[in-house]
Amino acid sequence: MNHDTHTSPGTETEPVPAMQQILDNHFLLLFLGIALPTVLYIVWGIMEVVSIPIAK
C-alpha cells in the first residue's frame, strides 16, 4: 500500500503528513520503542557496571 497518500471513495488523493506516516508505520514504532530503551537504559547501564574496576 502506498504510504504517501490516503484515498477514500469519492475523495481525491490527499498527501499524508510526514509525522502521520511515522505514526502509521507500526513496525518503525516497534523498532524505536525497543531500540531506544535498550541503548539508553540497558546497554549504557551494563557498560557502566562492566567498567567498574575489580577489587584486588
Partner 1 sequence: MAQFRVCPQSGLYFHKSAESLMKANAVAAVVFLLLAGVLALLVTLTRWPTVHLLPADAFYMVLTAHGINALLFWIIFFEMAVLYFASSTLLRSRLATPRWAWLGFWLMIIGAITTNVAIFQGASSVMMTSYVPMPAEPHFYLGLILFAVGALIGCFVFLGTLAVAKGENTYDGSIPLVTFGALTACIIAIFTIASGAIILIPTFLWSVGLISYIDPVMYRIVWWAMGHSSQQINVATHVAIWYAIAAIVFGAKPMSEKVSRGAYLLYILFLQLASAHHILVDPGVSSTWKIFNTSYAMYLAVLASMIHGLTVPGAIEAAQRKKGYTNGIFEWLRKAPWSNPVFSGMFMSLIMFGFLGGITGVVMGTEQINIIIHNTLYVPGHFHATVVAGTTLAFMAITYFLVPVLFRRELILPGLAKWQPYIFSIGIILFTLFMMGAGTMGVSRRHWDMSFADASTILGMTFEYPGTAKLMMGIVGISGVLSIIGGAMYVLIVVGSLLFGKKLEASAGFWQNFGVPLADSCYSPTRPERLGRPPVIEEHGSAGFEAPGTFVLAIVFLVTFVVYYFINWKYLASVWPMS
If one asks whether residue 12 binds partner 1 (CB under 8 A), the answer comes out as no
- For the chain, the first-to-last Cα distance in angstroms comes to 61
CB neighbourhood size of 25 (10 A)? 13
If one asks whether residue 3 binds partner 1 (CB under 8 A), the answer comes out as no
Q: For residue 29, what are the contacts with CB-CB under 8 A and spacing of at least 6?
A: 22, 23
Tell me how far, at minimum, the Cβ of 12 lies from partner 1, in Å.
14
Residue selected from 10, 13, 34, 53 as contacting partner 1 according to rule CB under 8 A: 34
Rounded to whole angstroms, how far apart are CA atoms 6 and 15?
7
Q: Name the residues that contact partner 1, by CB under 8 A.
A: 1, 6, 8, 19-20, 23-24, 26-27, 29-30, 32-34, 36-38, 40-42, 44-46, 48-49, 52
